[in-house]
Chains A and B, each alone.
Chain A
Amino acid sequence: MVVAAALQEAWPQYAFIWDTKPELLLVLAANIGLARGAAQGLAAGFFAGLFSASLAGSGMGSYLLTRMLAGYVAGVLRRRLFTERLRVAAFVCAGTTLTAEVLRMIMAPPLDALQWVRSLSVVVLFSFVLGPLVYFPVRAIARQWPHRAEE
């Protein structure tokens, strides 16, 4: 989670699309939920929200809530979808990112709606592309430790 936060903070300028960078912490939280379940997804979402809010400098409550929710929902979907497929990871990450950002927009409305829509589309695209790439190592690490029964 620390590495993801550092990567997000140090994302190079030439890799920005429309002045927007990916939400790596959110993608990681969703992938952990997808790989390990709702509880771990919620915990990962907590730390993702904490780091995101610290780096953003504001909105601790909205970041915590949205990231924890994303991790939890991804964990719930683990039992309902065939999560071995990378396409599933891509769509889940994109979906949870969209949901989380829309929720955060409701809690902390942006000043420029058009700019927000443009940024949202880029962030969702980033999540769709990076989701499967992050899911690979997360799933490999998750397989090292036997999975506990869902609460």
Chain B
Amino acid sequence: MVAFVALAIIVTIWDYGYRGAEDPSPPSRLARAVVAPLAGRLSASGRVVPDYALSFWDARALARENQRLQEQVDDLQAQLQAQVKDYLERQQLEKDVPLEQRASSLIARVIVWPSGNNPAKRIKIAAVGPGLIYKSDVVLQGTGLLGRVDETDGRTADVALLTDEKQYVSALIQRTSHFGIVCGDRQRLDTPYGRLEMRDFVPGADVRVNDTIVSSGDGGVYPAGLIIGEVEAVRHTSPSDPSLIAIIRPRADFRHLAFVRVARHRG
């Protein structure tokens, strides 16, 4: 004990001699030299702990952010796909419609499509681009007749489709010019969805499968020459009735409507 006390006094006096000097006393330098390497290693290790803690905390926040961004990406991808589909439909529509017809017509988008499995009888459309929709304007998809405007406020309109059995179109067989009446398919049990039927033919009418049916223009409701569809099947009204009914596959696709063309018609 005495030795250590004496040593302490000696070191204190020795260190006092270096007071104010730039360099520390030899005992101080020796002590620092012993401690410094280990202290450096421990300092470096000490930084790892908060880094790991922060990383763990940040990882949770990043995971939540990642999930939110992934949901956003999924939404945007779905929107992009829908827009690409619409764009392609519009391209096809412009390709199908001759330039002279485009000048007297405008493009509209289907905004209300009735739900359910039954064929739609009415849809709601909204004009795209400049122009107004008028009552009794004719609505087409490509070159296929869809229906006519029933009510309108100028930029949106309700359209009565041909699939409504109460809608009648005076039509004729393009090959033979024999007249008939086209309306929505009444016999849904044995015909595919979205078919039309042609009946009330003139006596002796010659109608065959694959005949093209066009509007006749009679009555002024629809202009003449609009393609309604092609004959898919011909049958009798009933076994005892010789009257013919032609099942028509419409040119327009009543099940997939996005963009339609509204043609000016003063009926």
Partner of B35, one of A2, A11, A49: A2
- On chain A, the residues within 8 Å of B36 by CB distance are 9
User: Which of B2-10, B56-64, B142-150 lies on the face that meets chain A?
Assistant: B2-10
Partner of A38, one of B1, B12, B38: B1
Number of A-B contacts (CB under 8 A): 83
- On chain A, the residues within 8 Å of B11 by CB distance are 50, 60, 64
A61 to B9 alpha-carbon distance, docked (Å) = 8
**Range for the number of chain B residues in contact with chain A:** 20 to 34
- On chain B, the residues within 8 Å of A128 by CB distance are none
A129 at the binding interface (Cβ < 8 Å): no
A68 to B8 alpha-carbon distance, docked (Å) = 9
- On chain B, the residues within 8 Å of A46 by CB distance are 4, 7-8
B267 at the binding interface (Cβ < 8 Å): no
User: Which of B21-29, B131-139, B156-164, B180-188 lies on the face that meets chain A?
Assistant: B21-29
A50 to B30 alpha-carbon distance, docked (Å) = 10
Q: Are B24 and A10 in contact (CB under 8 A)?
A: no
Report whether over half of chain A's contact residues are helix, strand or loop; otherwise say mixed: helix
B15 at the binding interface (Cβ < 8 Å): yes
Report whether over half of chain B's contact residues are helix, strand or loop; otherwise say mixed: helix
Q: How many whole Å from A44's CB to the nearest CB in chain B?
A: 10
Partner of B39, one of A10, A42, A68: A10
Scan residues 43-80 of chain A and give those whose CB is less than 8 A from a CB of chain B: 43, 46, 49-51, 53-55, 57, 60-61, 64-65, 68, 72
A39 at the binding interface (Cβ < 8 Å): yes
**Range for the number of chain A residues in contact with chain B:** 20 to 34
Q: Are A42 and B35 in contact (CB under 8 A)?
A: no
Q: How many whole Å from A53's CB to the nearest CB in chain B?
A: 7
A14 at the binding interface (Cβ < 8 Å): yes
A98 to B218 alpha-carbon distance, docked (Å) = 113
A12 to B46 alpha-carbon distance, docked (Å) = 6
Partner of B42, one of A6, A43, A51, A55: A6
- On chain A, the residues within 8 Å of B7 by CB distance are 46
- On chain B, the residues within 8 Å of A53 by CB distance are 15, 28, 31
- On chain A, the residues within 8 Å of B42 by CB distance are 6-7, 9-10
- On chain B, the residues within 8 Å of A151 by CB distance are 1
B129 at the binding interface (Cβ < 8 Å): no
Chain B residue with minimal CB distance to A52? B31
Q: How many whole Å from A78's CB to the nearest CB in chain B?
A: 15
B16 at the binding interface (Cβ < 8 Å): yes
Scan residues 77-107 of chain B and give those whose CB is less than 8 A from a CB of chain A: none
9 contacts between A and B (CB under 8 A): A10-B39, A14-B49, A49-B8, A54-B28, A60-B15, A60-B27, A60-B28, A64-B11, A64-B12
Known A60-B15, A68-B4; further 17 A-B contacts with Cβ < 8 A: A2-B38, A5-B34, A9-B36, A9-B42, A10-B41, A10-B43, A12-B49, A38-B1, A46-B7, A50-B11, A50-B31, A57-B28, A60-B11, A60-B12, A64-B11, A64-B12, A68-B5
